[in-house]
Structure 1
Amino acid sequence: MKYAFLFSIVLFTNLQAFTQSFTVKGTVISEESEKPLPYAQVAFYPSGSDDISAGSTTDGQGEFSVQLAPGKYRFMVSFVGYEDFTRDIEVASEDANLGKIAISKNVEVMEEVTVEGDEVVRKPILTTMEGMEIRPDQTIANIGGTLLDILRNTPSVNVSDDGAVSLRGSGSTNVLIDGRNSALATDLEQIPASAIEKVQIINNPNARYDAESDGGVINIILKQGEDLGTKARAEVTTGTRWRTNANFNVSRKTEIFSIYGGYSYRNWPRVGRGETVRETYDNMERLKQFTADERHDKEHTVNYGTDYYWGQNKISFEGVFNTEKENDLEAISTTLTDMQTSENLLSYVRNNNESENNYTTDNALIYERSFDDKEQSLRALTSVSIRGQEEDQAIDVYNNALIPENRNPDRLERSHTNEFRNTSIVQIDYVQPLSIGKIETGYKSTFRNFLNDYTYEIYDEELEDFRNQDSISNQFDYSDQIHALYGIFSGEVGEFNYALGVRAEQTFVRSELINTNEVNTQQYLDFFPSVQADYALNEENTLKATYSRRIDRPNAWMLNPFPDFADSLNVRIGDPNLQPEYINSFELGHMLDLGRFNLTSNAFYRRIDGQVDWIVRVLDGISYRGPQNLNVSNLYGVELINTTEITDWWVVNASYSIFEVQVDGTNLDNSFTNRGLSWYAKLTTDVSLPWGINLQLTGNYFAPEIEAQGRDLARYYLDASLQKHFWDKQLSLSASFRDVFDTRNFAGENYGPDFFQSFEWKRETQILLLTASYTFRKEL
């Protein structure tokens, strides 16, 4: 690691490009008052690119001055409370004065582009009235990674070791792809970071969004066509254990059509280890399990799309196709001892060889109509998202051993899983401006189907063949329909903006355990109001308040009552009678923008009726883990998000969240009551080093977090990255050092009246990644 770090610095410092430059200056003024605007943000983008070449912040007289190489640029001015201003310019062979640039006021809070001098000030987090917006390309640590890596570096978001995502302490979030429910969201690790344009975090969504989930909405916006012209980009990442991630994207856009596509290859081997210790007090036994895991994962992803424009109409087709082949080896060594005598009661090794073949496809047809009034719009879409998974397991069991000896296994087991998911959507949204505000309304129908066919067999010595285990093998068929209507009225009174909405959702659920003919149906109609308001105290300070009522429906896995015996001593089992959670969520926030210092503060509260938690019960030495409805849980806390430009070459992005969780599960057992304080902090600091090198350090800390029967323990780690651009940023080289001190793990504790259990899982997270990317541009 040390030598690789030094090698990267030497590599970057010896590759430099020298270009003649000219001075471009101007003055930014308010169109209404014609007065200069100090601290407005100015940026210059090469034509056909979203990478900033240079920029500045206006001084006290509204003036700016930057150095630019000859070429064509898209010039942009941003200032809080004003509309963004853009103009195409060309720098030829002399200095240029753009004169006075007048920008007009806008009641909406605009996205910020923060730049200073010739160096980009990285601002990966843009706070908005609904939450925040994440620009993945502004965090070097994301390069060569996946969507999960982006979320790990995102405020409010917590990603567990198995890829589960939680938002502000809630494990239930509605993850959308381009605003749609998609099968891609079932495996976020399959989406490469290079394919993502931005990530929207909506903590308290209004009636426009599905009422699903208590944590909020995470909307993943994939890259599509770029500006006018042709653009292509290639990126290759290689790392320790010969990890490989290669991407190629190309787009072509004219005045009447655009077409884009991309291909990604990912080969991501990894290893891991785990330990579980469980003590049961009714029989005074101690169980110890040691797990060694090895995974080989290869994926191919193709994304594609086209747009066609005529008049005020646009029709689009967009899609993604992914295939994945995975081979895993999991070895579990188990010992069971008497806690009083230390006598060894049981020992065995269970080797599980697993092969998996998956595919995911997501396609959408979208129609959009614009009008002379920019506030008026019509959008309709239909989409189909499918995921198929086929998995085979071959299990060898060696009794009375901790290390497999050179002998045949004592028992042979095998299983086969065939899984199919289908999500289809029909949706239409319309916005109509009025003299006193505007009305948004829409309709959406979602049809989902989940079919799981699981076969489990044990080798029979007498038959000399595998025998099906009817008590474990099962077929589970789940389907639901959600039909929704919503309406939102929004308006303004001076500096006060508000939006009042309500969403109605009719839900139909049907689940069937085919081999036992057990059918469970549910249907219910719910109404979900939402309120949003903000008030601009002045150009630097804005207050906001939001409320929403939401629902979190149990998924198919939670409803499947058949046990999962992947580990015979730790069994997962669902409940077909599980009921949805109902959530009331409140938030009060303040946004402060002082140019070089930005601070967003949010106080939030959530009450969850019917809270679903995973409950562990130990019977005859076997742990059974399953979801159950509790009475209620309450969560309240405070979140701070800050960006500070300390100097022209040093910028810090920091976030901090602290929250109290109270869980009441006395409807199940008086012991299922818990409360605790948890917090987490994330820090990204960017330093512009000599020779045009950017250094970025990203640190994360997650304090212990409680559950009904225990808690997850603290996690913390640090990533370090270097990046340098060449040839007007067409070529970029970067090196990322993940988990520099090898501290990232996942551990926790569970307990009940008759048992205590602790676990720790550690995957290989200390890795080095080297990435090279090149952008090809051709203007019209």
Structure 2
Amino acid sequence: MKFYSSGLIVILFLLGGVIPLAAQQTPTEISGIVLESGGKQPIPFATVVLRDTQSKSPITSATTAQDGRFKLITDAPNFYLEISFLGFITQRLDNLSGTKGKIELGTVYLAEDSKVLNEVVVAGQKSTTEFKVDKRVFNVGNDLSSTGMGALELLNHVPSVNVNIEGEVSLRGSTGVQILIDGKPSILADEQSNALGTITADMIEKVEVITNPSAKYDAEGTSGILNIVLKKEEKKGMNGSISVNTGIPDNHSIGISLNRRTQKFNLFTQLGVGYRSLPRYSENSNRDLTNNTTVYSEGDAYRNETFYNIILGADYHINELNVLTLSGNFAYEVEDQPSETYFDYLDASNTITSQWQREENTEATNPKWQYELQYKKDFEDHKDHQLLFSALGRFFGKDQSSDFINTTTLGSVQYSDQLTRTKFQQADYTFKLDYVDPITEQFTLETGAQLVINDVGNDYEVQDLVGSEFVTNPNLTNNFEYDQKVLAVYVTSAYEFDKLGVKLGLRLENTQLNTLLTNTNERNNQEYTNLFPSAHASYKFSENFSLQAGYSRRIYRPRLWDLNPFFNIRDNFNIRTGNPNLLPQFTDSYEVTNIFIMGKLALNTGIYHRYTTDVKELVVAFENNVRTTMPMNIGTDRTTGIEINAEYDLASWISANADFNYNSYKRVGSLESQVFDFEGTLSTARLTTKLKLSADLEMELTGNYNSGFPTVQSELSSTTFMDFGLRKKFLDSKVVVNVGVRDVFASRIQERYTTQTAFELYSFGQRGRFITLGFSYGFGKGEAMTYSGRRRR
């Protein structure tokens, strides 16, 4: 109750400060929309200044919105308007007149200033967050510590998002996140393929954080959606950039981005190649409280990867209203995963009676490709009236083999050597049709349909050394087949008034899931049809304060790796396996947020609540000092939290960005005879400080804090870590050199304690410090990491 009261006080305080402003009446309102004279595209963030006719001093000012619109209010009698944006010729509008206290300028066109574009190509650019009715958009700048980052590491810098050292993504502290690439499912976003690592930070334009998606989006992802939008330059002529990165541990990559635009065609490509080493140190302790024996292990594991990535695409503008796009992506990884783990066996007197070493040599190749055909039709009656069809196919394969060699160094216990073989293939197809019709200026109707087909096979074999020969172990060997089809239709309606916006939606999804263990003929067939409503509303009290509310119902379907009952046996005393009978979990999500801008301060505060059923939890079973972890559906979860995002420019040379999230949750559930009821809290905080040391030298520090929190059986410890970045520009900013240090103090660790009646478990994991050096160069009208203007799509 105290928490709700505090949140209410915050909202009432903000409302009290801004409602009087909203109530003020002024005699003249000036509005319009700013477009490019060439491409007729909106120009967001253009500066609109109202000046006194005699003194030419500014009276009031504003910046254009994402769609190029602006509005000014003044009681001055004599004035003129000035509209400017870097790279365009400034427009001055005199002798303005209107009726009934309103001056409607209509469309104002700005022409490109070729002289400015040629002379000023690069400038400082930092990541910024903008807020829309149903999402937040993290525009990726060139943050100094992001040098050489992969997409997963970049996500860890996005407000509300956290990525642990295992690569698991959470949103507002909860997993079950749907990751999209350019608004669509992608093999690059597959959680087990590590393909996100083939996308580097300088290939990403923005990340959309959608905590309450509308019915237009897949209902998949109980915590929400992260949409990674890749760069696709469309400036006329030949444009491009090249980046080179190196680092310790090994983290070397080269990236090239090219774009060629003519009147009819836009050709684009991105290429990347690199090698990286991802070391991880781990400790595990399995203690049997019945006989007081313990198995302790520690060791180092590496994931060494050589990767290649190429994106090719072409837009063909058939005419002004029809565009055809064909694009493809191919990625290929060669993996080498060596590891060494040392084991101690301690008896009841805590004396080491056995010691042995388990050495792993794993090799794998991972081909991935994706192709898409997209057709977009615009209609003449309205710029937002359009039809969009897309057909997408993607494939991911893994051919992996592993050798496990056990060497006893103390005692008489002998463990046999083992071999494993994995043949994995996944093919996905997505067909989507979307139609948007702005029926009136205030009312927009949107509808569409989607079919997603997932076809997966995982052939896994384990062989034990018996005598001098390797013999297949039937208890650990099987071929798992997974087939899922999801058919969806949706409709949304949006109402846009002067200050009020409302968006309602309904989505219907039918899911058919079939799994088969071929060796045992064990089948699991599920079919279910669900409705997923959504509702969003926003109210603009003034230019500086807006309030938003949202609701959506979501689903998190079990992934292949949650269902497949066989898993890697790198450490055969700590095994994770899947559960073929796992059910989907459903979430009802509610939130209220406000956006408050006061001078140099931009503040976003949100209160949210989630109710989830059939929650998926990792449950540990223990026998003979072996822990086996399996996902299970256990009860319900109620989570209530508050989130605060703030940006503030303290001075021209220093700025700060802060992100804070706190929630409390209550779990109710049981499994067989064991009750799993518990409560807990979770908080995360991030503070980024940027300092401009000189005209061409900048520094950045990012501090992160993740609190400890309880799970269904365990307790996770808190962690605090820092990232550092430094940037230097050369040759009139044509060349940019970055230095980044991630986890400066090597303090980003993960500890888990599990205490049960019959056993105690402890786990520790650490990645360590990463140092990177990056170089970039832009040519044509391209960019060297920092482009002064916006990207026009």
State which of 429, 432, 437 in structure 1 corresponds to 2:437: 432
What are the superposed Cα offsets for residues 119-171 of structure 1, whole Å, 9 maximum, x if unpaired? 74734322322232122234221121110121111111110111111111211
Does 2:115 correspond to 1:129? no
Shift of 1:257: 0.8
Deviations 1:76-132 (A, max 9, x none): 9535896279988879xxxx86434999799xxxxxxxxxxx974734322322232
| Kept after mapping to 2: 8 A contact 1:229/1:252 | yes
- Does 224-233 or 204-213 show the bigger shift? 224-233
1:43/1:77 contact within 8 Å kept: no
Match in the other structure for 2:238 = 230
Q: CA deviation at 1:338?
A: 2.3
Aligned position for 1:283 = 291
Report the counterpart of residue 13 of structure 1 in structure 2: none
Asked if 1:299 is matched to 2:341, the reply is no
Amino acid at match of 2:462: Y
1:153 aligns with 2:161: no
Change in CA separation of 1:61 and 1:503 when aligned onto 2, cut-off 3 Å: farther
Would you say the 8 A contact 1:55–1:119 is kept in 2? no
Shift of 1:266: 1.6
Residues in 2 aligned to 1:610 and 1:276: alpha-carbon distance in whole angstroms: 29
Q: Distance in 2 between matches of 1:573 and 1:778?
A: 51
**C-alpha displacement at 1:325, in angstroms?**
0.8
CA spacing shift, 1:239–1:614, aligned 2, 3 Å = same
Superposed, 1:114-125 pairs within 5 Å as 120=124, 122-125=126-129
- Confirm or deny: 8 A CA contact 2:358 2:406 kept in the other structure: yes
Please identify, of 388-397 and 435-444, the stretch whose mean Cα deviation from structure 2 is larger. Answer: 435-444
Q: What amino acid is the match of 1:170?
A: S
Which residue does 1:770 correspond to in 2?
773
Deviations 1:642-673 (A, max 9, x none): 11111111111111000112222224454422
Tell me how far apart the structure 2 counterparts of residues 77 and 417 of structure 1 sit (CA, whole Å).
Answer: 56
- Equivalent of 2:710 in 706, 712, 718: 706
Greater CA drift, 669-678 or 451-460: 669-678
2:465 pairs with one of 436, 450, 459: 459
How many Å separate the matches in 2 of 1:468 and 1:83? 68
Indicate which of 49, 69, 72 corresponds to 1:83. 69
Between the aligned partners of 2:315 and 2:162, the Cα distance in structure 1 is 36
Q: Secondary structure at the match of 1:303?
A: strand
Instruction: Identify the range of structure 1 (654-663 vs 276-285) with the bigger mean alpha-carbon deviation.
Output: 276-285
**Residue type at the aligned position of 2:350:** S
What are the equivalent positions in structure 2 for 1:485-504 lying under 5 Å apart? 485-504=489-508
- Asked if 2 retains the 8 angstrom alpha-carbon contact of 1:382 and 1:424, the reply is yes
Cα drift, residue 269 of structure 1: 1.7
Q: Is 1:326 the counterpart of 2:319 in the alignment?
A: no
> By how many angstroms is 1:757 displaced?
1.1
1: CA distance, partners of 2:268 / 2:244 = 19
SS at match of 2:155: helix
Query: Structure 2: which amino acid aligns with 1:375?
Result: D
Q: Aligned partners of 1:127, 1:418: CA distance in 2, in Å? A: 44
CA distance in 2, matches of 1:680, 1:509: 36
Contact 2:353 2:410 in 1 (8 A): no
Contact between 1:502 and 1:530, CA under 8 Å: does it hold in 2? Answer: yes
- Secondary structure of 1:515's counterpart equals coil
Distance in 1 (CA, whole Å) between partners of 2:472 and 2:526 is: 32
Instruction: Tell me the distance in 2 between the aligned counterparts of 1:594 and 1:100.
Output: 28
Cα distance, 1:240 vs. partner? 2.1
Matches within 5 A, 1:397-476: 397-401=406-410, 411-435=416-440, 437-461=443-467, 464-476=468-480
Partner of 1:374: 383
Look up the match of 1:9.
Answer: none
Equivalent in 649, 659, 662 of residue 653 of structure 2: 649
How far the C-alpha of 1:751 sits from its partner, in A, is 2.7
1:352–1:433 distance in 2 versus 1, CA, 3 Å = same
Q: 1:580 to 1:729 in 2, by over 3 A?
A: same
The alpha-carbon distance between structure 1 residues 149 and 443, as it changes in their structure 2 partners (threshold 3 A), is same
Aligned 8 A contact 2:123 2:733 in 1: no
Query: For 1:565-616, what per-residue CA distance to the aligned partner results, in whole angstroms no more than 9, with x for missing partners?
Result: 3322122222222111111000011111234110111101101011010001
Equivalent pair of 2:127/2:141 in contact (CA under 8 Å) = no
Shift of 1:490: 1.2
Whether the 8 Å contact between 1:43 and 1:56 is mirrored in structure 2 is: no
Q: What does residue 92 of structure 2 align with? A: 99
Aligned to 1:253: 261
- Distance in 2, Cα, partners of 1:661 & 1:226: 46
Alignment of 1:31-110 (within 5 A): 33=28, 78=64, 83=69, 98-100=91-93
User: Contact 2:83–2:90 at 8 Å: present in 1 too?
Assistant: no
2:150, 2:200 within 8 Å by CA — same for their partners in 1?
Answer: yes
Quickly say closer, same or farther: Cα 1:354–1:564, change in 2 above 3 A: closer
Distance 1:676 1:399 in 2: 43
Secondary structure class of the residue paired with 2:562: helix
Aligned to 1:267: 275
Stretch deviating more after TM superposition (655-664 or 96-105): 96-105
Contact 2:125-2:142 within 8 A present in 1 as well? no
Q: Name the TM-score, length of structure 2 as normaliser.
A: 0.84
Change (3 A) 1:43 1:486: closer
Go from structure 1 to structure 2 and tell me whether the alpha carbon gap of 1:33 and 1:257 turns closer, same or farther (over 3 Å shift).
Answer: farther
Could you list the per-position Cα deviations for residues 679-721 of structure 1 after superposition, in whole angstroms to 9, with x for gaps in the alignment? 0111111111124211111111111132111122112211111
Count of aligned residue pairs for this structure pair: 706
| 1:321-360 map, 5 Å | 321-339=330-348, 341-360=349-368
- The aligned amino acid for 1:355 is E
C-alpha change, 1:145 and 1:329, in structure 2 (3 Å) is same
Correspondence 1:610 to 2:614: yes
Is the Cα–Cα contact under 8 Å of residues 308 and 332 in structure 2 kept in the other structure? yes
Task: Report the AA paired with residue 324 of structure 1.
Answer: E
Alpha-carbon contact 1:317-1:365 (below 8 Å) kept: yes
Whole-angstrom CA distance in 2 between matches of 1:424 and 1:82: 36
1:226–1:252 CA contact under 8 A, matched in 2: yes
CA RMSD of aligned residues (A): 3.1
Q: CA deviation at 1:410?
A: 6.5
- Residue in 1 that maps onto 2:393: 384
Which residue of structure 1 aligns with residue 207 of structure 2?
199
Aligned to 2:10: none
Secondary structure of residue in 1 paired with 2:593: strand
Asked if structure 2 preserves the Cα contact closer than 8 Å seen for 1:80 and 1:539, the reply is: no
Q: What is the Cα deviation at residue 207 of structure 1?
A: 0.2
Deviation per CA, 1:356-375, whole angstroms, max 9, x where unpaired?
Answer: 11111111110001112112
User: Which residue identity does 1:371 align to in structure 2?
Assistant: F
Give the Cα separation in 1 of the matches to 2:498 and 2:237: 42
Percent sequence identity over matched residues?
25
SS in 2 for 1:566: coil
Equivalent residues of 1:561, 1:575 under 8 A apart: yes
Structure 1 range deviating more: 551-560 or 442-451: 551-560
SS in 1 for 2:569: strand
C-alpha separation in 2, matches of 1:160 and 1:778 = 38
Query: Which of these residues, 156, 175, 178, is aligned with residue 174 of structure 1?
Result: 178
CA displacement 1:231-260 (0-9 Å, x = unmatched): 011000112244211101110012211001
Secondary structure of 2:222's counterpart equals: coil
TM-score (normalised: structure 1): 0.85
Q: Deviations over 1:174-229 (max 9, x none)?
A: 00111111111122222211211111110110100011111100001112233112
Task: Go from structure 1 to structure 2 and tell me whether the alpha carbon gap of 1:87 and 1:421 turns closer, same or farther (over 3 Å shift).
Answer: farther
Structure 2 letter corresponding to 1:244: H
Q: In the alignment, residue 451 of structure 2 is paired with which amino acid?
A: S
Distance 2:226 2:90 in 1: 43
Which residue of structure 1 lines up, in the alignment, with residue 548 of structure 2?
544
